[in-house]
């Protein structure tokens, strides 16, 4: 093997090729960038026009808001990106979600002692609407999810757990892993879950099922019912449908105040 000859030459060639590619790559990139930049400017102008025309609509109509947000997303614009900045100033969209975020926190605080910091999106929606009163802007579940995602990004301990077609919103950072979440999803149907349910549906061992249920009790998310037919039932206040019709009591409202 003639190391020197092959090595030096090959390396040199390689380097030259790389340099050429790099050059071309740079040229390409610059070109592309210039084009994209032009396009973005155009997009931005159009969007500005659109936004100013439809500002009212955006604030008033939840469906319209969803479509507007989706549109922004496709061109990589986040109207809620920062408190200050073009979009939130332009549309006041940021304010809307900020205020909504505050309302969500209030509802969650008020109900936390009842449900351990876990609430269905439906109940949250109901309570938020109640709090806003008749003449306030309408708020959709989509709005809530967006506001919560913002809260989540701010590090407030919120998380969103998908269950049976809807979502559970966790406002207190409890330690929930996959096993816990899967059991929550199981409980969503009837508001409670049993060891047998878990074994039958998830095919787990008794011990694994028991551990999850113990954890839910420990986190204050579940209550134990020893008078249920057959075996112990573990009920989640967050999923207890009857609770939806309950008003926030005066005590609970007091808890929500700073």
Partner 1 sequence: MAMSFEWPWQYRFPPFFTLQPNMDTRQKQLAAWCSLVLSFCRLHKQSSMTVMEAQESPLFNNVKLQRKLPVESIQIVLEELRKKGNLEWLDKNKSSFLIMWRRPEEWGKLIYQWVSRSGQNNSVFTLYELTCGEDTEDEGSPKVPVSTRKEGCLLFLPEFHGLDEATLLRALQALQQEHKAEIITVSDGRGVKFF
| Interface with partner 1, residue 235, by CB under 8 A | yes
Among 91, 170, 237, 238, binds partner 1 (CB under 8 A): 237
Distance, CA of 75 to CA of 113 (rounded, Å): 42
Among 163, 233, 238, 239, binds partner 1 (CB under 8 A): 233
Distance, CA of 178 to CA of 198 (rounded, Å): 14
Of 96 and 235, the one with the shorter C-beta distance to partner 1 is 235
Q: How far is the CB of 157 from partner 1 (least distance, A)?
A: 18
Q: Among 49-57, 92-100, 167-175, 234-242, which window interacts with partner 1 (CB under 8 A)? A: 234-242
SS3 call for 192: strand
Q: Comparing C-alpha atoms, which of 224, 234, 145 is closest to residue 183?
A: 234
Neighbours of 152 (CB within 10 A): 15
Sites for partner 1 among residues 106-135 (CB under 8 A): 113-114
DSSP class of residue 81 equals S
Of 1 and 226, the one with the shorter C-beta distance to partner 1 is 226
Of 74 and 227, the one with the shorter C-beta distance to partner 1 is 227
Distance, CA of 117 to CA of 108 (rounded, Å): 7
E strands present in the chain = 118-120, 159-163, 166-170, 192-193, 223-225, 233-235
Of 167 and 240, the one with the shorter C-beta distance to partner 1 is 240
Angle between helices 121-132 and 93-115 (to 10 degrees): 120
| Interface with partner 1, residue 211, by CB under 8 A | no
Q: How many residues bind partner 1 (CB under 8 A)?
A: 19
Q: How far is the CB of 32 from partner 1 (least distance, A)?
A: 59
116 burial level (CB within 10 Å; 0-12, 13-18, 19+): buried
CA distances to 46, 72, 113, 163 from 189, rounded to whole Å, are 46, 36, 22, 9
Q: Among 145-153, 166-174, 180-188, 229-237, which window interacts with partner 1 (CB under 8 A)? A: 229-237
Q: Comparing C-alpha atoms, which of 155, 162, 156 is closest to residue 178?
A: 162
Q: How far is the CB of 250 from partner 1 (least distance, A)?
A: 12
Q: How far is the CB of 103 from partner 1 (least distance, A)?
A: 22
Residues 159-198, one symbol each (x = binds partner 1 by CB under 8 A, - = not), give ---------------------------------x------
| Interface with partner 1, residue 217, by CB under 8 A | yes
Of 77 and 217, the one with the shorter C-beta distance to partner 1 is 217
Interface with partner 1 (CB under 8 A) = 113-114, 192, 217-218, 220, 223-228, 233, 235, 237, 240, 242-243, 246
């Amino acid at each position: 093997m003639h190391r020197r000859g092959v090595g030096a030459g090959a390396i040199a060639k390689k380097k030259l090729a790389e340099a050429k590619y790099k050059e071309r790559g740079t040229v390409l990139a610059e070109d592309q960038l210039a084009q994209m930049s032009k396009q973005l400017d155009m997009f931005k102008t159009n969007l500005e026009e659109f936004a100013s025309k439809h500002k009212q609509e955006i604030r008033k109509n939840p469906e319209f808001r969803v479509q507007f947000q989706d549109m922004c997303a496709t061109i990589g614009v986040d109207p809620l990106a920062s408190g200050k900045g073009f979009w939130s100033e332009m549309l006041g969209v940021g304010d809307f979600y900020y205020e909504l975020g505050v309302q969500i926190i209030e509802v969650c605080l008020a109900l936390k002692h009842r449900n351990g910091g876990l609430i269905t999106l439906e109940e949250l929606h109901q309570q938020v609407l109640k709090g806003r009163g008749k003449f306030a802007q309408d708020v959709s579940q989509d709005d809530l999810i967006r506001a919560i995602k913002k809260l989540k990004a701010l590090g407030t301990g919120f998380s969103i757990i998908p269950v049976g077609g809807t979502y559970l919103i966790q406002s207190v950072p409890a330690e929930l892993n996959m096993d816990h979440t899967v059991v929550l999803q199981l409980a969503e149907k009837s508001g409670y879950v049993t060891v047998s349910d878990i074994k039958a549906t998830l095919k787990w061992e008794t011990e694994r099922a028991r551990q999850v249920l113990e954890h839910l009790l420990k986190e204050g998310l579940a209550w134990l019912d020893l008078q249920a037919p057959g075996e112990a039932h573990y009920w989640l206040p967050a999923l207890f449908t009857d609770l939806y019709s309950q008003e926030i009591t005066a005590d609970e409202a007091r808890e929500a105040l700073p």
